[in-house]
Structure 1
Protein backbone atom coordinates (compact mmCIF):
# COMPACT_ATOMS: atom_id res chain seq x y z
CA UNK A 1 0.00 0.00 0.00
CA UNK A 2 1.44 3.35 -1.05
CA UNK A 3 0.03 6.42 0.65
CA UNK A 4 -0.73 9.33 -1.61
CA UNK A 5 0.70 12.57 -0.22
CA UNK A 6 -1.29 15.39 -1.78
CA UNK A 7 -0.17 19.00 -1.82
CA UNK A 8 -3.37 20.94 -1.18
CA UNK A 9 -2.03 23.75 -3.40
CA UNK A 10 -1.50 21.52 -6.45
CA UNK A 11 -3.68 22.08 -9.49
CA UNK A 12 -4.67 18.41 -9.51
CA UNK A 13 -5.05 18.10 -5.71
CA UNK A 14 -8.76 17.26 -5.93
CA UNK A 15 -8.24 14.37 -8.31
CA UNK A 16 -5.27 13.01 -6.35
CA UNK A 17 -7.21 13.19 -3.09
CA UNK A 18 -10.26 11.36 -4.45
CA UNK A 19 -8.21 8.62 -6.08
CA UNK A 20 -6.17 8.05 -2.92
CA UNK A 21 -9.22 7.89 -0.67
CA UNK A 22 -10.95 5.41 -2.96
CA UNK A 23 -7.87 3.23 -3.33
CA UNK A 24 -6.71 3.01 0.30
CA UNK A 25 -9.36 4.72 2.45
CA UNK A 26 -6.76 7.35 3.38
CA UNK A 27 -5.35 10.54 1.92
CA UNK A 28 -2.55 12.67 3.37
CA UNK A 29 -2.76 16.43 2.76
CA UNK A 30 0.19 18.79 3.09
CA UNK A 31 0.10 22.62 3.01
CA UNK A 32 -3.53 22.47 4.10
CA UNK A 33 -5.25 25.58 5.51
CA UNK A 34 -5.57 24.45 9.17
CA UNK A 35 -2.86 26.35 11.12
CA UNK A 36 -0.35 24.19 13.01
CA UNK A 37 -0.06 26.80 15.76
CA UNK A 38 -3.80 26.54 16.45
CA UNK A 39 -3.51 22.75 16.74
CA UNK A 40 -0.60 23.04 19.18
CA UNK A 41 -2.40 25.67 21.26
CA UNK A 42 -5.40 23.35 21.62
CA UNK A 43 -3.09 20.49 22.60
CA UNK A 44 -1.67 22.58 25.43
CA UNK A 45 -4.90 24.06 26.77
CA UNK A 46 -6.85 20.81 26.65
CA UNK A 47 -4.05 18.84 28.29
CA UNK A 48 -4.48 21.17 31.26
CA UNK A 49 -8.23 20.57 31.16
CA UNK A 50 -7.88 16.78 31.24
CA UNK A 51 -5.33 16.94 34.07
CA UNK A 52 -7.53 19.33 36.07
CA UNK A 53 -10.45 18.82 38.39
CA UNK A 54 -13.22 20.60 36.50
CA UNK A 55 -13.82 18.07 33.73
CA UNK A 56 -16.50 16.22 35.68
CA UNK A 57 -18.73 19.29 35.46
CA UNK A 58 -19.00 18.73 31.70
CA UNK A 59 -19.84 15.02 31.68
CA UNK A 60 -21.44 13.93 28.43
CA UNK A 61 -25.13 14.24 27.75
CA UNK A 62 -26.40 10.80 26.72
CA UNK A 63 -28.93 12.32 24.34
CA UNK A 64 -26.77 14.94 22.69
CA UNK A 65 -23.45 13.10 23.08
CA UNK A 66 -21.68 16.38 23.86
CA UNK A 67 -19.20 16.88 26.66
CA UNK A 68 -16.65 14.89 28.64
CA UNK A 69 -16.37 11.10 28.41
CA UNK A 70 -14.35 9.53 31.26
CA UNK A 71 -11.97 6.68 30.47
CA UNK A 72 -14.45 4.07 31.71
CA UNK A 73 -16.97 5.36 29.14
CA UNK A 74 -14.39 5.41 26.34
CA UNK A 75 -14.60 1.82 25.16
CA UNK A 76 -15.02 2.85 21.53
CA UNK A 77 -12.70 0.31 19.97
CA UNK A 78 -13.10 -3.32 19.08
CA UNK A 79 -12.66 -5.97 21.79
CA UNK A 80 -9.27 -6.77 20.30
CA UNK A 81 -7.90 -3.29 20.97
CA UNK A 82 -6.75 -1.65 24.18
CA UNK A 83 -10.04 -0.09 25.26
CA UNK A 84 -10.61 2.32 28.09
CA UNK A 85 -7.14 3.93 28.04
CA UNK A 86 -8.35 7.27 26.82
CA UNK A 87 -10.77 9.99 27.78
CA UNK A 88 -12.21 12.57 25.47
CA UNK A 89 -14.49 15.55 24.96
CA UNK A 90 -17.11 15.79 22.21
CA UNK A 91 -17.49 19.36 21.01
CA UNK A 92 -20.39 20.67 18.97
CA UNK A 93 -20.91 24.41 18.41
CA UNK A 94 -24.32 24.05 20.07
CA UNK A 95 -23.06 21.89 22.93
CA UNK A 96 -21.39 22.36 26.30
CA UNK A 97 -17.76 23.50 26.58
CA UNK A 98 -15.64 25.28 29.20
CA UNK A 99 -16.07 29.00 28.37
CA UNK A 100 -12.33 29.72 28.38
CA UNK A 101 -11.73 26.95 25.81
CA UNK A 102 -14.65 27.56 23.46
CA UNK A 103 -13.10 30.25 21.24
CA UNK A 104 -10.07 28.20 20.17
CA UNK A 105 -12.15 25.09 19.64
CA UNK A 106 -14.84 26.95 17.70
CA UNK A 107 -12.18 28.45 15.43
CA UNK A 108 -10.70 25.03 14.75
CA UNK A 109 -14.14 23.47 14.23
CA UNK A 110 -15.05 26.11 11.64
CA UNK A 111 -11.81 25.69 9.69
CA UNK A 112 -11.96 21.89 9.77
CA UNK A 113 -15.62 21.95 8.72
CA UNK A 114 -14.92 24.26 5.80
CA UNK A 115 -12.06 22.06 4.60
CA UNK A 116 -14.12 18.87 5.04
CA UNK A 117 -16.90 20.35 2.91
CA UNK A 118 -14.38 21.15 0.18
CA UNK A 119 -13.00 17.60 0.31
CA UNK A 120 -16.50 16.20 -0.09
CA UNK A 121 -16.88 18.33 -3.21
CA UNK A 122 -13.59 16.90 -4.50
CA UNK A 123 -14.72 13.36 -3.79
CA UNK A 124 -18.10 13.86 -5.47
CA UNK A 125 -16.51 15.24 -8.63
CA UNK A 126 -13.43 13.01 -8.94
CA UNK A 127 -14.24 9.72 -7.21
CA UNK A 128 -13.72 6.66 -9.41
CA UNK A 129 -16.23 4.75 -7.23
CA UNK A 130 -19.27 4.11 -9.41
CA UNK A 131 -21.70 4.19 -6.50
CA UNK A 132 -20.60 7.69 -5.44
CA UNK A 133 -21.39 9.02 -8.88
CA UNK A 134 -24.91 7.52 -8.85
CA UNK A 135 -26.17 8.55 -5.40
CA UNK A 136 -29.74 9.82 -5.25
CA UNK A 137 -28.44 12.82 -3.28
CA UNK A 138 -24.95 14.26 -3.91
CA UNK A 139 -22.47 14.10 -1.04
CA UNK A 140 -22.22 17.91 -0.63
CA UNK A 141 -25.99 18.11 -0.27
CA UNK A 142 -25.96 15.39 2.42
CA UNK A 143 -23.91 17.57 4.76
CA UNK A 144 -25.71 20.84 4.00
CA UNK A 145 -27.20 22.30 7.22
CA UNK A 146 -26.11 19.26 9.24
CA UNK A 147 -25.42 19.96 12.92
CA UNK A 148 -24.13 16.45 13.65
CA UNK A 149 -20.46 16.90 12.71
CA UNK A 150 -18.30 16.84 15.81
CA UNK A 151 -14.81 17.56 17.03
CA UNK A 152 -13.34 15.09 19.48
CA UNK A 153 -10.53 16.22 21.78
CA UNK A 154 -8.96 12.93 22.78
CA UNK A 155 -6.48 12.48 25.62
CA UNK A 156 -4.32 9.58 26.75
CA UNK A 157 -2.66 9.28 30.13
CA UNK A 158 0.95 8.10 30.39
CA UNK A 159 2.23 4.57 30.80
CA UNK A 160 0.94 2.75 27.73
CA UNK A 161 2.82 -0.37 26.80
CA UNK A 162 4.98 -0.55 23.70
CA UNK A 163 4.49 3.15 23.05
CA UNK A 164 1.07 2.61 21.48
CA UNK A 165 -1.48 5.17 22.60
CA UNK A 166 -4.49 3.97 20.69
CA UNK A 167 -5.40 1.18 18.33
CA UNK A 168 -8.53 2.13 16.41
CA UNK A 169 -10.25 -0.67 14.57
CA UNK A 170 -12.68 -0.57 11.67
CA UNK A 171 -15.47 -0.30 14.22
CA UNK A 172 -13.94 2.59 16.19
CA UNK A 173 -16.38 5.41 16.79
CA UNK A 174 -13.99 7.83 15.11
CA UNK A 175 -15.06 6.23 11.84
CA UNK A 176 -18.85 6.40 12.25
CA UNK A 177 -19.13 9.23 9.76
CA UNK A 178 -18.34 10.27 6.21
CA UNK A 179 -14.81 11.60 6.67
CA UNK A 180 -12.44 12.02 9.62
CA UNK A 181 -9.80 14.77 9.49
CA UNK A 182 -6.84 14.25 11.84
CA UNK A 183 -4.00 16.79 12.12
CA UNK A 184 -0.68 15.21 13.07
CA UNK A 185 2.62 16.29 14.55
CA UNK A 186 6.05 15.08 13.52
CA UNK A 187 6.64 13.66 17.00
CA UNK A 188 3.63 11.36 16.96
CA UNK A 189 3.06 8.96 14.09
CA UNK A 190 0.01 7.31 12.59
CA UNK A 191 0.01 3.84 11.08
CA UNK A 192 -2.43 2.09 8.74
CA UNK A 193 -2.85 -1.68 8.56
CA UNK A 194 -2.72 -3.15 5.07
CA UNK A 195 -4.68 -6.18 3.88
CA UNK A 196 -1.82 -8.48 4.93
CA UNK A 197 -1.98 -7.19 8.52
CA UNK A 198 1.22 -5.17 8.33
CA UNK A 199 1.41 -1.72 9.97
CA UNK A 200 2.61 0.99 7.60
CA UNK A 201 3.75 4.47 8.62
CA UNK A 202 1.76 7.39 7.28
CA UNK A 203 4.14 10.19 6.20
CA UNK A 204 4.38 12.82 8.94
CA UNK A 205 6.83 15.39 7.59
CA UNK A 206 5.43 18.90 7.52
CA UNK A 207 2.55 18.35 9.97
CA UNK A 208 0.13 16.86 7.42
CA UNK A 209 -3.58 16.31 7.76
CA UNK A 210 -4.69 12.68 7.51
CA UNK A 211 -8.15 12.09 6.05
CA UNK A 212 -9.91 8.76 6.61
CA UNK A 213 -12.97 7.33 4.92
CA UNK A 214 -15.68 6.59 7.48
CA UNK A 215 -18.23 3.84 7.91
CA UNK A 216 -21.07 5.93 6.52
CA UNK A 217 -19.09 6.57 3.36
CA UNK A 218 -18.41 2.86 3.12
CA UNK A 219 -22.13 2.17 3.44
CA UNK A 220 -22.98 4.84 0.84
CA UNK A 221 -20.48 3.40 -1.63
CA UNK A 222 -21.70 -0.16 -1.21
CA UNK A 223 -18.28 -1.13 0.09
CA UNK A 224 -16.29 0.38 -2.77
CA UNK A 225 -14.60 2.72 -0.27
CA UNK A 226 -13.19 0.92 2.75
CA UNK A 227 -12.65 2.08 6.31
CA UNK A 228 -8.94 1.80 7.17
CA UNK A 229 -7.62 0.19 10.35
CA UNK A 230 -5.31 2.75 11.99
CA UNK A 231 -3.45 3.47 15.20
CA UNK A 232 -1.70 6.45 16.76
CA UNK A 233 1.78 5.96 18.21
CA UNK A 234 3.15 7.59 21.32
CA UNK A 235 5.61 10.45 21.04
CA UNK A 236 9.22 9.40 21.21
CA UNK A 237 11.20 10.38 24.28
CA UNK A 238 12.82 13.77 23.99
CA UNK A 239 10.83 14.93 20.99
CA UNK A 240 9.20 17.78 22.89
CA UNK A 241 5.69 16.63 21.99
CA UNK A 242 4.65 15.98 25.57
CA UNK A 243 0.88 16.23 25.29
CA UNK A 244 -0.96 13.04 24.23
CA UNK A 245 -3.83 14.83 22.44
CA UNK A 246 -5.56 14.09 19.14
CA UNK A 247 -8.14 16.29 17.38
CA UNK A 248 -10.20 14.21 14.95
CA UNK A 249 -12.95 16.18 13.20
CA UNK A 250 -15.80 13.88 12.16
CA UNK A 251 -17.98 14.98 9.26
CA UNK A 252 -21.57 13.78 9.58
CA UNK A 253 -24.53 14.04 7.18
CA UNK A 254 -28.03 15.15 8.15
CA UNK A 255 -29.85 12.47 10.21
CA UNK A 256 -32.47 11.75 7.55
CA UNK A 257 -29.93 11.11 4.77
CA UNK A 258 -30.37 7.59 3.41
CA UNK A 259 -27.09 5.72 3.33
CA UNK A 260 -28.52 2.53 1.82
CA UNK A 261 -31.68 0.45 1.73
CA UNK A 262 -30.82 -0.64 5.29
CA UNK A 263 -29.93 2.63 7.00
CA UNK A 264 -30.45 6.32 7.34
CA UNK A 265 -27.54 8.23 8.88
CA UNK A 266 -29.47 8.45 12.16
CA UNK A 267 -30.37 4.76 12.35
CA UNK A 268 -26.82 3.74 11.51
CA UNK A 269 -25.35 6.05 14.16
CA UNK A 270 -27.81 4.88 16.81
CA UNK A 271 -27.10 1.24 16.09
CA UNK A 272 -23.36 1.76 16.41
CA UNK A 273 -23.72 3.83 19.60
CA UNK A 274 -25.87 1.09 21.10
CA UNK A 275 -23.17 -1.46 20.26
CA UNK A 276 -20.59 0.80 21.93
CA UNK A 277 -22.65 1.27 25.08
CA UNK A 278 -23.26 4.99 24.54
CA UNK A 279 -27.07 4.80 24.37
Structure 2
Protein backbone atom coordinates (compact mmCIF):
# COMPACT_ATOMS: atom_id res chain seq x y z
CA UNK A 1 0.00 0.00 0.00
CA UNK A 2 1.54 3.31 -1.10
CA UNK A 3 -1.18 5.79 -0.29
CA UNK A 4 -2.64 6.66 3.09
CA UNK A 5 -6.39 5.81 3.09
CA UNK A 6 -8.84 8.65 3.79
CA UNK A 7 -11.93 8.23 6.01
CA UNK A 8 -14.68 10.60 7.19
CA UNK A 9 -15.75 10.62 10.85
CA UNK A 10 -19.18 11.90 9.77
CA UNK A 11 -19.89 8.36 8.54
CA UNK A 12 -19.31 6.95 12.03
CA UNK A 13 -21.45 9.50 13.88
CA UNK A 14 -24.19 9.75 11.18
CA UNK A 15 -26.69 7.49 12.94
CA UNK A 16 -26.78 5.38 9.76
CA UNK A 17 -25.64 1.82 10.62
CA UNK A 18 -24.42 1.11 7.06
CA UNK A 19 -22.24 4.25 6.97
CA UNK A 20 -21.01 3.54 10.50
CA UNK A 21 -19.95 -0.02 9.60
CA UNK A 22 -18.26 1.23 6.43
CA UNK A 23 -16.13 3.56 8.57
CA UNK A 24 -15.30 0.78 11.07
CA UNK A 25 -14.24 -1.57 8.25
CA UNK A 26 -12.18 1.08 6.44
CA UNK A 27 -10.26 2.31 9.49
CA UNK A 28 -9.74 -1.25 10.78
CA UNK A 29 -8.30 -2.38 7.43
CA UNK A 30 -6.04 0.69 7.19
CA UNK A 31 -4.66 0.15 10.70
CA UNK A 32 -4.02 -3.54 10.04
CA UNK A 33 -2.23 -2.77 6.76
CA UNK A 34 -0.30 0.50 7.21
CA UNK A 35 -1.20 1.96 10.62
CA UNK A 36 -2.15 5.44 9.30
CA UNK A 37 -5.34 7.12 8.04
CA UNK A 38 -6.22 10.66 6.95
CA UNK A 39 -9.42 11.69 8.77
CA UNK A 40 -12.01 14.24 7.65
CA UNK A 41 -14.99 15.30 9.77
CA UNK A 42 -13.05 15.88 13.01
CA UNK A 43 -14.12 18.36 15.70
CA UNK A 44 -11.56 21.11 15.03
CA UNK A 45 -13.10 23.99 13.10
CA UNK A 46 -11.07 26.16 10.75
CA UNK A 47 -11.07 29.22 13.03
CA UNK A 48 -9.70 27.19 15.96
CA UNK A 49 -6.95 25.70 13.77
CA UNK A 50 -5.98 29.15 12.48
CA UNK A 51 -5.92 30.59 16.02
CA UNK A 52 -3.83 27.71 17.32
CA UNK A 53 -1.20 28.09 14.59
CA UNK A 54 -1.10 31.85 15.19
CA UNK A 55 -0.54 31.38 18.94
CA UNK A 56 2.03 28.62 18.42
CA UNK A 57 4.02 30.78 15.98
CA UNK A 58 3.80 33.69 18.45
CA UNK A 59 5.24 31.50 21.20
CA UNK A 60 8.14 30.09 19.19
CA UNK A 61 8.98 33.62 17.99
CA UNK A 62 9.63 34.74 21.57
CA UNK A 63 13.28 35.28 22.55
CA UNK A 64 15.02 32.07 23.64
CA UNK A 65 15.59 33.43 27.17
CA UNK A 66 11.81 34.00 27.50
CA UNK A 67 11.01 30.48 26.26
CA UNK A 68 13.61 28.98 28.60
CA UNK A 69 11.66 30.39 31.57
CA UNK A 70 9.03 27.78 30.73
CA UNK A 71 11.41 24.82 30.60
CA UNK A 72 10.57 22.98 33.83
CA UNK A 73 13.25 20.78 35.38
CA UNK A 74 12.52 17.32 36.76
CA UNK A 75 9.32 16.42 34.88
CA UNK A 76 10.81 14.75 31.81
CA UNK A 77 9.54 17.50 29.52
CA UNK A 78 5.92 16.51 30.16
CA UNK A 79 4.66 20.12 30.40
CA UNK A 80 5.83 23.48 29.10
CA UNK A 81 8.81 24.10 26.81
CA UNK A 82 11.46 21.65 25.58
CA UNK A 83 14.38 23.35 23.85
CA UNK A 84 16.14 22.57 20.61
CA UNK A 85 17.87 19.17 20.27
CA UNK A 86 16.84 17.84 23.71
CA UNK A 87 14.88 14.82 22.42
CA UNK A 88 16.28 12.01 20.30
CA UNK A 89 14.59 8.96 18.81
CA UNK A 90 15.07 5.56 20.50
CA UNK A 91 18.57 4.33 19.60
CA UNK A 92 19.71 7.69 18.14
CA UNK A 93 22.47 9.83 19.70
CA UNK A 94 21.70 12.99 17.72
CA UNK A 95 19.01 15.30 19.08
CA UNK A 96 16.15 16.01 16.67
CA UNK A 97 16.12 19.41 14.93
CA UNK A 98 13.10 20.76 16.80
CA UNK A 99 11.80 22.63 19.85
CA UNK A 100 8.34 22.01 21.28
CA UNK A 101 5.68 22.73 23.90
CA UNK A 102 3.47 20.37 25.89
CA UNK A 103 -0.14 20.96 26.94
CA UNK A 104 -1.36 18.14 29.20
CA UNK A 105 -4.63 16.87 30.63
CA UNK A 106 -7.14 19.22 32.28
CA UNK A 107 -8.14 16.82 35.06
CA UNK A 108 -11.79 16.71 36.10
CA UNK A 109 -13.00 15.43 39.52
CA UNK A 110 -9.92 13.39 40.39
CA UNK A 111 -7.51 14.72 43.04
CA UNK A 112 -5.18 11.71 42.81
CA UNK A 113 -4.59 12.33 39.10
CA UNK A 114 -4.15 16.06 39.71
CA UNK A 115 -1.23 15.09 41.94
CA UNK A 116 0.13 12.50 39.47
CA UNK A 117 0.23 14.80 36.42
CA UNK A 118 2.38 17.93 36.30
CA UNK A 119 0.37 21.16 36.09
CA UNK A 120 -0.02 22.94 32.78
CA UNK A 121 2.34 25.89 32.35
CA UNK A 122 0.90 29.37 31.65
CA UNK A 123 2.71 31.66 29.20
CA UNK A 124 2.36 35.13 30.70
CA UNK A 125 3.47 36.97 27.54
CA UNK A 126 0.63 35.62 25.35
CA UNK A 127 -2.92 36.18 26.63
CA UNK A 128 -4.66 33.66 24.29
CA UNK A 129 -1.99 30.93 24.04
CA UNK A 130 -3.23 28.74 26.90
CA UNK A 131 -6.95 29.24 26.19
CA UNK A 132 -6.63 28.28 22.52
CA UNK A 133 -4.35 25.37 23.43
CA UNK A 134 -6.91 24.00 25.88
CA UNK A 135 -9.77 24.27 23.36
CA UNK A 136 -7.76 22.44 20.68
CA UNK A 137 -6.76 19.78 23.23
CA UNK A 138 -10.42 19.12 24.08
CA UNK A 139 -11.52 18.87 20.42
CA UNK A 140 -8.69 16.50 19.53
CA UNK A 141 -9.45 14.37 22.59
CA UNK A 142 -13.12 14.18 21.50
CA UNK A 143 -12.11 13.16 17.97
CA UNK A 144 -9.77 10.48 19.35
CA UNK A 145 -12.57 9.05 21.52
CA UNK A 146 -14.70 8.32 18.45
CA UNK A 147 -11.79 6.83 16.52
CA UNK A 148 -11.14 4.46 19.45
CA UNK A 149 -14.84 3.59 19.57
CA UNK A 150 -14.65 2.54 15.92
CA UNK A 151 -11.55 0.46 16.64
CA UNK A 152 -13.28 -1.18 19.62
CA UNK A 153 -16.04 -2.41 17.28
CA UNK A 154 -13.45 -3.58 14.74
CA UNK A 155 -11.76 -5.62 17.48
CA UNK A 156 -15.05 -7.16 18.61
CA UNK A 157 -15.07 -5.21 21.88
CA UNK A 158 -17.90 -3.19 23.43
CA UNK A 159 -18.02 0.20 21.63
CA UNK A 160 -17.13 2.28 24.71
CA UNK A 161 -14.35 -0.10 25.85
CA UNK A 162 -11.70 2.67 25.84
CA UNK A 163 -13.88 5.51 27.20
CA UNK A 164 -13.07 5.11 30.90
CA UNK A 165 -9.37 4.54 30.20
CA UNK A 166 -9.00 7.76 28.18
CA UNK A 167 -11.15 10.01 30.40
CA UNK A 168 -8.58 12.09 32.33
CA UNK A 169 -5.91 10.12 30.41
CA UNK A 170 -2.28 11.27 30.32
CA UNK A 171 -2.66 12.74 26.81
CA UNK A 172 -0.35 15.42 25.42
CA UNK A 173 -0.79 18.15 22.79
CA UNK A 174 2.60 18.98 21.35
CA UNK A 175 3.10 22.02 19.09
CA UNK A 176 6.48 21.54 17.39
CA UNK A 177 8.68 24.08 15.63
CA UNK A 178 11.29 22.79 13.20
CA UNK A 179 13.41 25.93 12.73
CA UNK A 180 15.16 26.89 9.49
CA UNK A 181 18.25 24.72 8.86
CA UNK A 182 21.35 26.93 8.91
CA UNK A 183 24.05 24.44 7.89
CA UNK A 184 24.35 20.92 6.51
CA UNK A 185 23.12 18.62 9.32
CA UNK A 186 25.73 15.91 10.02
CA UNK A 187 23.36 13.14 11.11
CA UNK A 188 20.32 14.87 12.57
CA UNK A 189 16.94 15.06 10.87
CA UNK A 190 13.87 17.00 11.92
CA UNK A 191 12.47 13.87 13.58
CA UNK A 192 14.31 10.55 13.29
CA UNK A 193 12.47 7.31 12.46
CA UNK A 194 10.35 6.26 15.43
CA UNK A 195 7.11 4.68 16.58
CA UNK A 196 4.81 6.60 18.93
CA UNK A 197 4.44 5.45 22.55
CA UNK A 198 0.71 6.05 23.04
CA UNK A 199 -2.64 4.57 21.88
CA UNK A 200 -3.21 6.78 18.82
CA UNK A 201 -1.69 10.03 17.54
CA UNK A 202 -3.69 12.76 15.80
CA UNK A 203 -1.45 15.01 13.72
CA UNK A 204 -2.23 18.53 12.55
CA UNK A 205 0.10 20.09 10.02
CA UNK A 206 0.82 17.14 7.74
CA UNK A 207 -0.13 19.19 4.68
CA UNK A 208 3.45 19.84 3.58
CA UNK A 209 5.99 17.23 2.56
CA UNK A 210 8.26 15.92 5.27
CA UNK A 211 6.30 13.23 7.13
CA UNK A 212 7.07 9.77 5.79
CA UNK A 213 5.68 6.37 6.77
CA UNK A 214 7.42 3.03 6.36
CA UNK A 215 5.23 0.38 4.71
CA UNK A 216 5.54 -3.38 5.28
CA UNK A 217 8.10 -3.72 2.48
CA UNK A 218 10.35 -1.24 4.25
CA UNK A 219 9.71 1.51 1.67
CA UNK A 220 9.25 5.13 2.82
CA UNK A 221 6.09 6.79 1.49
CA UNK A 222 5.01 10.42 1.84
CA UNK A 223 2.07 10.96 4.21
CA UNK A 224 0.35 14.15 3.12
CA UNK A 225 -3.11 15.10 4.41
CA UNK A 226 -5.59 17.45 2.77
CA UNK A 227 -6.08 20.86 4.39
CA UNK A 228 -9.16 19.64 6.34
CA UNK A 229 -7.73 16.27 7.38
CA UNK A 230 -5.87 14.99 10.43
CA UNK A 231 -3.31 12.22 9.98
CA UNK A 232 -4.03 9.58 12.66
CA UNK A 233 -1.75 6.65 13.45
CA UNK A 234 -1.57 3.71 15.82
CA UNK A 235 0.91 3.97 18.70
CA UNK A 236 2.90 1.23 20.43
CA UNK A 237 0.45 0.90 23.36
CA UNK A 238 -2.44 0.01 21.05
CA UNK A 239 -0.24 -2.22 18.91
CA UNK A 240 0.87 -4.08 22.02
CA UNK A 241 -2.69 -4.34 23.41
CA UNK A 242 -3.88 -5.87 20.10
CA UNK A 243 -0.90 -8.27 19.76
CA UNK A 244 0.28 -6.23 16.75
CA UNK A 245 -3.00 -6.78 14.88
CA UNK A 246 -3.20 -2.97 14.61
CA UNK A 247 0.16 -1.73 13.38
CA UNK A 248 2.27 0.96 15.01
CA UNK A 249 4.11 2.16 11.92
CA UNK A 250 7.60 3.61 11.96
CA UNK A 251 7.57 7.19 10.65
CA UNK A 252 9.95 10.15 10.39
CA UNK A 253 10.13 13.82 9.40
CA UNK A 254 12.87 14.32 6.81
CA UNK A 255 14.79 17.52 6.18
CA UNK A 256 13.42 19.55 3.26
CA UNK A 257 15.26 20.09 -0.03
CA UNK A 258 18.07 22.63 0.29
CA UNK A 259 16.05 25.46 -1.29
CA UNK A 260 13.54 25.21 1.60
CA UNK A 261 16.10 25.12 4.41
CA UNK A 262 15.37 28.75 5.23
CA UNK A 263 11.77 27.99 6.20
CA UNK A 264 10.25 26.92 9.51
CA UNK A 265 7.90 23.93 9.70
CA UNK A 266 5.16 23.65 12.33
CA UNK A 267 3.43 20.46 13.30
CA UNK A 268 0.95 19.78 16.12
CA UNK A 269 0.48 16.15 17.18
CA UNK A 270 -1.96 15.07 19.90
CA UNK A 271 -0.77 11.93 21.68
CA UNK A 272 -3.78 10.07 23.11
CA UNK A 273 -2.70 8.29 26.30
CA UNK A 274 -4.86 6.32 28.72
CA UNK A 275 -4.70 6.61 32.51
CA UNK A 276 -1.54 5.02 33.96
CA UNK A 277 -3.24 1.98 35.50
CA UNK A 278 -4.75 0.75 32.21
CA UNK A 279 -3.50 -2.79 31.60
CA UNK A 280 -1.97 -3.14 28.15
CA UNK A 281 -2.11 -6.95 28.42
CA UNK A 282 -2.74 -8.56 25.03
CA UNK A 283 -6.47 -8.84 24.31
CA UNK A 284 -7.68 -12.46 24.31
CA UNK A 285 -9.47 -11.89 20.99
CA UNK A 286 -6.14 -11.04 19.33
CA UNK A 287 -4.44 -14.35 20.28
CA UNK A 288 -4.79 -17.53 18.21
CA UNK A 289 -2.64 -20.41 16.92
CA UNK A 290 -1.16 -18.29 14.13
CA UNK A 291 -0.68 -15.28 16.43
CA UNK A 292 0.53 -16.39 19.86
CA UNK A 293 0.84 -13.77 22.60
CA UNK A 294 3.85 -11.57 21.73
CA UNK A 295 4.07 -9.20 24.71
CA UNK A 296 4.45 -9.40 28.48
CA UNK A 297 1.75 -7.90 30.70
CA UNK A 298 2.40 -4.24 31.56
CA UNK A 299 0.45 -1.12 32.56
CA UNK A 300 0.36 2.04 30.46
CA UNK A 301 2.22 3.96 33.18
CA UNK A 302 5.05 1.41 33.37
CA UNK A 303 5.36 1.33 29.58
CA UNK A 304 5.46 5.13 29.31
CA UNK A 305 8.17 5.36 31.97
CA UNK A 306 10.32 2.78 30.15
CA UNK A 307 10.06 4.70 26.91
CA UNK A 308 10.76 8.13 28.40
CA UNK A 309 14.02 6.71 29.79
CA UNK A 310 14.88 5.34 26.30
CA UNK A 311 14.17 8.77 24.76
CA UNK A 312 16.51 10.48 27.20
CA UNK A 313 13.72 12.64 28.67
CA UNK A 314 13.97 11.13 32.14
CA UNK A 315 16.94 9.57 33.88
CA UNK A 316 16.82 6.15 35.56
TM-score relative to the length of structure 2:
0.74
Is the 2:37–2:231 contact (alpha carbons within 8 Å) kept by the matching residues of 1?
A: yes
Q: How does 1:157-172 map to 2 (within 5 A)?
A: 157-159=179-181, 165-170=190-195
CA distance in 2 between counterparts of 1:245 and 1:103 reads: 19
C-alpha RMSD of the superposition: 2.9
Ranges in structure 1 where 5+ consecutive residues have no aligned partner: 128-132
Residue 235 (structure 1) shift:
6.8
SS of the counterpart of 1:42?
helix
- The one of 264, 267, 270 equivalent to 2:299 is 264
Is the 2:86–2:95 contact (alpha carbons within 8 Å) kept by the matching residues of 1?
A: no
CA distance 1:47–1:209, change in 2 (3 Å): same
Q: How does 1:30-179 map to 2 (within 5 A)?
A: 30-53=40-63, 54-63=66-75, 65-75=78-88, 77-80=89-92, 83-92=95-104, 93=106, 94-99=119-124, 100=127, 101-127=129-155, 133=156, 138-146=161-169, 148-159=170-181, 165-170=190-195, 175-179=196-200
TM-score relative to the length of structure 1:
0.83
Residue 124 (structure 1) shift:
0.3
Kindly provide the CA deviation profile for residues 38-84 of structure 1, in whole angstroms up to 9, marking residues without a partner as x.
33332232223223121111113433721111124222x13458633
Is the 2:99–2:178 contact (alpha carbons within 8 Å) kept by the matching residues of 1?
A: yes
Residue 233 (structure 1) shift:
5.0
Q: How does 1:194-273 map to 2 (within 5 A)?
A: 194-233=215-254, 243-260=264-281, 261-273=296-308
CA distance in 2 between counterparts of 1:8 and 1:235 reads: 31
Kindly provide the CA deviation profile for residues 106-152 of structure 1, in whole angstroms up to 9, marking residues without a partner as x.
1100100111111111110123xxxxx469x9323321332x11101
Number of the residue aligned with 1:130: none
SS of the counterpart of 2:174?
strand
Number of the residue aligned with 1:9: 10
Higher relative CO (Cα under 8 Å, sequence separation at least 6) belongs to: 1
Residue 217 (structure 1) shift:
0.5
Residue 278 (structure 1) shift:
1.7
User: What number of residue pairs does the alignment pair up?
Assistant: 266
SS of the counterpart of 1:159?
coil
CA distance in 1 between counterparts of 2:207 and 2:86 reads: 29
Ranges in structure 2 where 5+ consecutive residues have no aligned partner: 12-18, 107-118, 282-295
CA distance in 1 between counterparts of 2:305 and 2:72 reads: 16
CA distance in 2 between counterparts of 1:209 and 1:237 reads: 27
Is the 1:183–1:207 contact (alpha carbons within 8 Å) kept by the matching residues of 2?
A: no
CA distance 1:67–1:204, change in 2 (3 Å): same
CA distance in 1 between counterparts of 2:251 and 2:174 reads: 17
Larger radius of gyration: 2
